[in-house]
Structure formats: structure tokens, C-alpha cells
A and B are shown apart, each in its own frame.
Chain A
Amino acid sequence: MKDISHFQHKIYNKIMEIKGSNYLQDKGNKVRSPFWVLVEKEITAAIHSWKFIILTTLISLIFIASVYVSLESLGKIRDLVGGEKFHLYLRLFTASELSLPPFYIFLSFLSPLLGITLGFDAINSERSGGTLISLLSQPIYRDSVLLSKFLAPIILIAILFLSITFLLIGVVILLTGLPISPAEFIRIFLFIFITVLYVSFWLGFGILSSIIFQQPSTSALFCIGGWLFLIVFYPFFINLFIGTFYKGLMSVNEKEFMEVTHNILTLQRLSPSQLYNDATTTLLTPTIRSLGPLSLEQTYGAIPSELSIENSVIIVFPQITALIAVSISFFAFCYYKFMRQEIKG
């Protein structure tokens, strides 16, 4: 703190200069909104974090492996489908060898981890590092901090998925010379949109956990517990529950069987992972005409053709709206908790 008076004098001369120049009203894009400054900070921090680098590398490697396996198996599938319409680019996401599941199945496991990784220490690490109080003592709104914690990872994930998808399309065009049809492109784009929505849900879950728990480790454990419950244990409990109530499932008539299956599906759809699986499977497989059990009467007379994009979207519309609703609900709850929380120095 040398020559204090000299520097103080310089600083306050500068204040007068700045105040005189009316700089805050400058429309020359030189002063940015603090919210976008925070978003930029979050994106930079995430890109440089090891957890993000590791998960992105993992997803990219799985993507390359899945695409390689898909390309290898495409010949066999081509022979099987014969003269039917062959969606090369959609098959890249859904085709698989027995040794490696298709990419969209991998994503249904890895997307939650990506969301959790980017959210579990969003608030509590700032609090324990002493940066939250410094940040909130600046002239910014408290909700800007939370919104930037939510928006920045979503932007990052959307860019990541779009990049690897466009890269894939480009590589396959180079290898095969076959162009992508607009319908395939829209379906793939919708698939990415739903995946980002799904990650948003888990991101919201992670951020909520980071608001509730003071320690990042506790928050991470809670998130992993939630992930395991919804992905592994919840479907298991549903089957156990249904099995208890409908013991003689195999002996019931068709109507009762349909009812039981419908109930199982309804309960399973309380889990966002089931909603995601339903939506992505339908969008990436145009031949899927229904997401529930069909009776013989219902299938009688149906034309075994593919669905248009509009029809596929109509089928998964409830799933998409439910995913949007659950993501917004989690964010709203995060908002409520964070805005009412005491910030201590």
C-alpha cells in the first residue's frame, strides 16, 4: 500500500472523469449486463474444471465407439430391412451390436451424471470459498447468480451435443456420400433438445442439493443417491409393488393385463428417466407407433408404415411437456430456497 495518497488522488480524479463522461449510458456495447458477465464466468469455470473435461471426454469416446459400432452393423441392418425406408443417420444413434448399447441408451445413463456434476457444488462451493458474499455485495440481483448457474451449463451442454452431432453428420456424409434428409435432421435436433431438457432436470436437482447442503461432498452423495434411486431402484420398486397387488398376472384376461401394464407404465413415467427414454426412442425410431400396450383389435388394420415427425411429436408431447414442467419446477424450488436463504459472511 505504497504512496497511498498519490494513488488515491489518481483514482478519484478518474472518478470525476468517468462521472463526467456519462459512461453508463454508453450504448457502444462497452458495458455488459452483469448477468451475462456471470454466465460467461460460469462457462469459463466449467470448461476449465476437471470434472467437466472428464465427463465430456467420456461422452465423446462413447459417442465415437457407438458410431463406429453402428456403422459396422449398418450393412447387416440394411439387408434385414430390405426395401424399406432406411434412415442411416437415425440408425447411427439407435443401431448397436450386442456388446455395446446404442448411443441414446448411453446418454440416458450419462446425462444425469453430467447435470449432477455441473450442479452439485454450484452454490455451496461459492459459499464455503467466501466468493458468494463477495459476489452478492456487488450491485447485482441475487437471482442473476442462480439463473447464471442454471443457464451457463445448459448453454455448454447444448453446444457440446450439437457439436458432436454435427461432427457425426459431417463425417458420415464424407464416408458414405449420402445426404441427411430434413426429417432425419429435425428428429435428431429434437433428440438433442430433449436430452438438454433431461440434463436440465438433473442440473436443477444438483443445484437444489447445493443450496440445501453446505458441504459439496454431502450434496454429491445426495445427488448420486437420487440418480441411483430413479434409474435403478424406482423401476424395481414399481415391479415389486405391482407384483404384490397383482399376484396372478399371468392368469388374468387381456383387459386386466392391459390395465396392469398401463398402471405400471403410468407409475414408471413419474420418473424423468422413463419420460426421456419414451421420448427419445419414439423420435429416433419412426416405426414406433405407440408407447403403451396395444390389443390385437387395436393393431388390426393398422398400416405398418413409419410415422411422420408431426405424429411422432404428438405421441411424445406429454413426455416433452412433463420434462419441461419437472425441470422448471426444480428450478423454481431452487429459486425459492436460494432467495429465502440467509447469506452469511
Chain B
Amino acid sequence: MCDPVIEFKNVTKKYSNYIALNNLNLSIQSGEIFGLLGPNGAGKTTIILMLLGLSECNSGFINICGSPVIHRSAKAKQLIGYLPDNVGFYKNLTGRENLELICKLNKIESGLIPHRVETLLQMVDMEKFANKKTSTYSRGMKQRLGIAQALVKFPKILILDEPTLGLDPSGVQELLTLVKTLNERHGITIIISSHNLEQVQKICHRVCILICGKIKAIGSLETLAAGLGANNGFQTFIRWQGEINIPLSKLSKIIKSIEPSISIEWGEDHMVVNSPVACTPSIVEVCINNKIAVEEVRSNHLNLSDIYERHLPLPTQNL
């Protein structure tokens, strides 16, 4: 594996007068799950299209595994599996035939195609519908087949554009698990472009917030939170109702077992836990396990949604 696997250097892209990417410098490491975030028109899709060699930059260059994308796009595309946000299939073909076509385009030996298609169909739970024409598929079914299509070539890099769109809640959970498995077990670098920040937060190692073609923030959730001034430790405030049946010293010991450097300030009906790492859910779990009637939980811990909102430009008040 090459490191970094994707590199954008001083990339600028203009569509007549509109600047889609403005002197973008971005590097994605091998084996990470990377989230591309931003409002519509921020340049997320432009980045993806450039990686696939479908859009050319006006200046700068893009490397995939050390090789430039321009003039070698077919080679770059051998490494990339892509699920577009509006995935389409040939309506006159069945799901299985669509996958077989993609296999052939990827120069997979004809003898191996049936087995590979079958395995992928099973993976996305589409065996039952595989012999039906794709014109009869629902949005969720198309999305599942699209994921199978993106995995046909066993890519080193997987790009998912709004992957959970149209999936039912269990489908979303299964997809997120699949993404994690692909990354952890097989070292696939995954790029996710999504507006669903909760899902991105669950699986991404690093995220990049793009606004008007420029990177506003990039890094892990902790780094981004630190960048916004939430780096002076994490504070959790918990208030309860009624009496606590467990001695405070014992409860204190249990909470400290989560993180030894935790300090606790006790009040009459509340406690304030200061910690160098985010551990609010674990503290709440301890309280519930010890039958404490938790009434209020507050934390200075920023989630991705908070971080994203803080980076977004304020809407112009013209009403």
C-alpha cells in the first residue's frame, strides 16, 4: 500500500465563472475512512469526479498511489470502486446481468464471473431479486446493487456518495458495518460523501469540511473539536433524582476505572466529571448500572454536527 493513497496539490477547478475548488490541498492516507462534508455546491462531487478522471482541474495535480490521474485515468479507475449518489442500471437487464456486464468491463475472466456475482449478491442481500429487471427495483434495492457494483473490482479505494440514501434503518446499519469490515479487515481506503453527519461520525477516522471549494476544517473529530477551543478537557455534568444507594467512594472508584486521570466534584444532587478524553456515555452507563435515577446529562463534548454547524457560514439575512 502506498501512503498517502490520494493526494490533491494546489488543485483549482472552475466552471466558467464559478470556482468549484480553490487551491485545494488534500491528502488521504491509506487504510482510513475519510468523510467529505459540506453544503451543496461545496465541491465534494467535483473531488470525486476528479479522482475518477471524469473532470479535469484547471491547475494543480492529483495523484493516486503516486501516479497522476490525468492521462492515466483508466489505470486509476482500476483501483477505485464508486457508488454514485444517483446510481443507475440498464433497465432492460436484470440485477445479475448488470453486475456481469460490470465484471466484463473490469476484464474479469469469464469463468470467475458467476461466482463473483453470486458472492456480491449474497453480500448485499439481493439474491432473491437478482433475476428481476432493474426497472422494478426500489431506491434501496438499487443502492444495494450499486454497492455490489462498486465492489466488483475489489477496489483499493472505495468512494461512496450518499451511500445510505434510500436504505431502511437496518440496511443503514448493515452498510455501516460492511464499510467498517472492508476497511478494518481488508485495508480498503474509503471516502464517504454524505449529509448524514451522525453516520459519518460513527465510522470516519477523519473528516474534511468543504465550504465553497475550500477546506474549512480537516482532521479527526477530536482534532476538530480541539480546534474549536474544546481542548481543555471534557466535562460531564450529571444530575440525579432521589437518593443514591451506593457509597460515593465506591461510585467514584468505578468511574475512575473508566479513565484513571478523571477528577470528580460532588454536589448534593449532581456530579461534575473532568476528563482528558470523552467518556460521557460510559459515565452515564455506570450511573444506570448502579440504579441512579439520572435526570440531566450535559457535556462540553462536541459532536460532528456541532463542529459542522460552527464551520458553516451564517446565512445572509435578507428577509
* A14: min CB distance to chain B, Å: 7
| Residues of B close to A15: CB separation below 8 A | 154
B110 and A138 form a contact (CB under 8 A): no
How far apart sit A133 and B52, CA to CA, in the bound complex (Å)? 10
| Contacts A8-B182, A11-B123 given; does A345 touch B85 at CB 8 Å | yes
Q: Does B241 contact A (CB under 8 A)?
A: no
Q: How large is the interface on B (under 10, 10 to 19, 20 to 34, 35 or more residues)?
A: 35 or more
B86–A343 CB distance below 8 A: no
Task: Report the tally of A-B residue pairs with Cβ distances under 8 A.
Answer: 143
> Once the chains are docked, how many angstroms separate the CA of A2 from the CA of B102?
23
Chain A proximity mask over B104-142: 1 for CB below 8 Å, otherwise 0: 111111111001100110111100000000000000000
State the CA gap A11–B49 with chains docked (Å): 27
Contacting pair A137 B82 (CB below 8 A) = yes
List the B residue with the shortest CB-CB distance to A141.
B74
> Are A18 and B112 interface neighbours, CB within 8 A?
yes
- The closest CB in chain A to the CB of B55 belongs to A342
Looking at the assembled complex, report how far the CB atom of A333 sits from the nearest CB atom of chain B, in whole angstroms: 20
Contact A129 B149, beta carbon cutoff 8 Å: no
Q: With a CB–CB cut-off of 8 A, which chain B residues contact A345?
A: 45, 48-49, 84-86, 161
Cα distance, A11 to B146, chains bound together (Å): 17
Considering the complex, give the chain A residue whose CB is closest to the CB of B162.
A345
Task: Report A-chain residues with C-beta under 8 Å of the C-beta of B48.
Answer: 345
Interface string of A2-15 (1 = CB under 8 A from B): 11110111111011
With A23-B109, A129-B88, A131-B89 in contact, is A139–B116 under 8 Å at CB? no
Residues in A whose Cβ lies below 8 Å from that of B124: 1
Is there an interface contact between B75 and A8, defined as CB atoms closer than 8 Å?
A: no
Contact yes or no, B45 A344, CB < 8 A? yes
Which residue on chain B has the smallest CB distance to residue A41?
B101
A48 to B91, alpha carbons, bound, how many Å? 12
Count of chain A residues near B, Cβ 8 A: 44
Mask: chain B, 68-112; 1 = CB below 8 Å from A; 0 = not: 000000110110101011111111100000000110111111111
B144: CB under 8 A from chain A? Answer: yes
Any A CB within 8 A of the CB of B214:
no
Residues of A within 8 A of B115 (CB): 14
Residue from B15, B88, B154, B177 in contact with A11 in the complex, judged by beta carbons closer than 8 Å: B154
Taken residue by residue from 181 to 203, chain B's Cβ proximity to chain A (1 for < 8 Å, 0 otherwise) reads as 11001100000000000000000
The proximity string for A residues 267-284 relative to B, scoring 1 for CB distances below 8 Å and 0 otherwise, is 000000000000000000
Complex Cα–Cα for A23 and B107 (A):
9
Question: What 10 pairs across the A-B complex have the smallest Cβ distances?
Answer: A130-B88, A1-B174, A137-B82, A7-B123, A131-B88, A37-B104, A139-B77, A139-B78, A138-B105, A343-B54
Interface residues of B (CB under 8 A from A): 15, 45, 48-49, 52, 54-55, 74-75, 77-78, 80, 82, 84-92, 101-102, 104-112, 115-116, 119-120, 122-125, 144, 146, 149, 151, 153-154, 161, 171, 174-175, 177-178, 181-182, 185-186
Interface residues of A (CB under 8 A from B): 1-5, 7-12, 14-15, 18, 23-24, 26, 30-32, 34, 37-38, 41, 45, 48-49, 129-141, 342-345
